[in-house]
Amino acid sequence: MSPQTIGPPSAGPEPGGGPPPGLGPAVPAPTPPGLPEQNDIETAAAVMEKALEIVVSDEASHEAVKCAVRDMLLPGRGVCRVRWKPVLKPIPVDDPVMGGQLAHPVTGEPQTKEVKVWETVDDEYVFWEDLLIDPVRQHSDVSWIAFRHLFDQQSLLQEFSESPQLKQLQASNKISDLFKWTEESAAKSPIGGGSAPKTASRLDAVIKKAMVWEVWNRSTREIIWLIRESGGIALRVDPDSLGLEGFYPIPKPIYAVVTTDSMIPKAFYDLYASLAADLDDTSRRISDLTAKIKVRGGYNAANKDIASLLTADDGKLLPVDGVDLMSGGLQNHIWLVPILEWVNALKELYDSRNQQKQAIYEIIGLSDIVRGASNPYETATAQRIKGTMGTGRMTGVKSAVSNFVRDLMRLKADIIAQNFDAEILTKMTGEQVTPAVMAVLRSDFLRVCSIDIETDSTVEVDESTEKESNAQTMQVIGATMTAAQGLLATGLLPPPMIIQLTLEMIKMMLHPVRHSRGVIDLINGYQEVLTKFMQADPLGASMRPPPPPPGAPPPQGSNGKNPPQARPPQPGQGLPPGGPPRSGPPPQAVPRPSSP
């Protein structure tokens, strides 16, 4: 049975039995010369995504990012660095001539070589005082950065055992001149100037250490290890082993206050430092005035009962002799220091402090809704405006943290693509990393694939909002599938095309939903099977429902009504003016009312 044709006869199948023009299966465009295959690009993206999920799952990386955010909020600059950590394991070296393990020609000891058996890349927190950056205006112009390290004598000799200058100092017994720092003294000597942290005195002040600088020079792409003591000693010069595109192992630091003329950190506190000083002064005056407001006075010493009256408990009545209550009473025998003026001054100080605090809240963007304080007499619209203002002021900080985490992820992806081996990536991700996929990772990954982090993934998710959004998405998906069922019943389009359209719309609605990657991959698999089916049956004749038996009612659509049916023109007649006839009952003539 041939598929039913909808529309005028000219829209029917071709004489050769092929599909109508424009209804055939979509043929994928050939890959442009010089570009990798699409399957290799998708595999490379899947490998990178799974590898990043593994390397970011450690708690140390999470704590490093949290510490960087705290540094941004307090001193004004936070930064983390990425560390590539290959795991090496010694294995015996085979003798190509005699067989077995190769032995040293002189000592006869068995020879071994180190082989990389696993790799990972982690985030490492960098204390804001342990980093020096080239003092330029923009981060893109930075030509060098330097990290500060403290080495004790054992770790220094172990790390730089091949340094000639270190050996020379060791031979002349002057190596002790390098170890003049402790954790406390280094913290009390901030490299960027300014005052030392208050917690510096709590650090270790016993073990002597050497201060070593790790300088990353972008112009020569070298890492220089040096000590400034003893006239300056270059311990070692390392080549660029990471091969990062931006060379530095750190992303652009997150700054609290960003300016265009300097990269010197500036804390949020600097924006309201003068107001904070005024607030401290007002609070001090309130404390002093509160201490001075006391109930003090004098009484007539001739009557001892008045003294007992002044120290009596609440609600206690005492007899007083020798006092004429009719001629002034006790008022003429007791005098209290007036405190009303002091109380009025204290009230003014409290009002002044509240105004100063409100000015600080306006500068830093903390509305009363964000602080949990609300006026019950305000309207819901006013409170909503305040809440929107508070979240709006935090948008810039949230975006800066999101970009910082995204840049960290891109650095990790760059290290994975440039340094990880194919065998380790296969074990790590479960994907088959072929030479073609490895070529994409080595050279073309950052050009053909993008790494991005949604802004909502860096903040706490509102569960109620997420559930409501997911429920709405499922309702729309259900309505889409119901509409597709009705469209299938009409027969206006071939079933494969309707199914492809429905699946694409479902993927579009699932894309912003969290944890929907598995469902989208499943839909992609369905579409691949459907594409192969369309190549064999372009119009989906085998997918159409069988014709109803004779005498049966016509099929109904999803809305319970009969689907529109096209009526072909009668033999010997052309199309009526205005196109093909409309579906539904034929128009009826309405009698014109007769004239009286």
The separation between CA 369 and the C-alpha centre of its own chain, rounded to angstroms, equals 25
pLDDT score for 541: 66
Q: pLDDT tens for residues 424-478?
A: 999 888 888 888 888 888 886 655 565 555 544 544 445 666 777 788 888 888 8
d(CA 555, CA 542): 18
The CA distances from residue 25 to 29, 381, 525, in Å, are 12, 54, 17
Short-list 363, 190, 192, 189, CA closest to 263:
192
pLDDT score for 452: 58
Short-list 447, 502, 515, CA closest to 476:
502
Phi, psi of 312 (to 5 degrees): -75, 160
Q: pLDDT tens for residues 187-221?
A: 777 776 556 666 666 676 778 888 999 999 999 99
Q: pLDDT tens for residues 23-33?
A: 444 455 566 66
| Average pLDDT of the residues in 250-264 | 88
Domain ranges of the chain: 59-141, 143-247, 386-460, 461-543
pLDDT score for 10: 39
d(CA 71, CA 266): 11
d(CA 258, CA 402): 16
Q: Name the band, by pLDDT with cuts 50, 70 and 90, for residue 551.
A: low
Structure tokens at 44: 């490379």
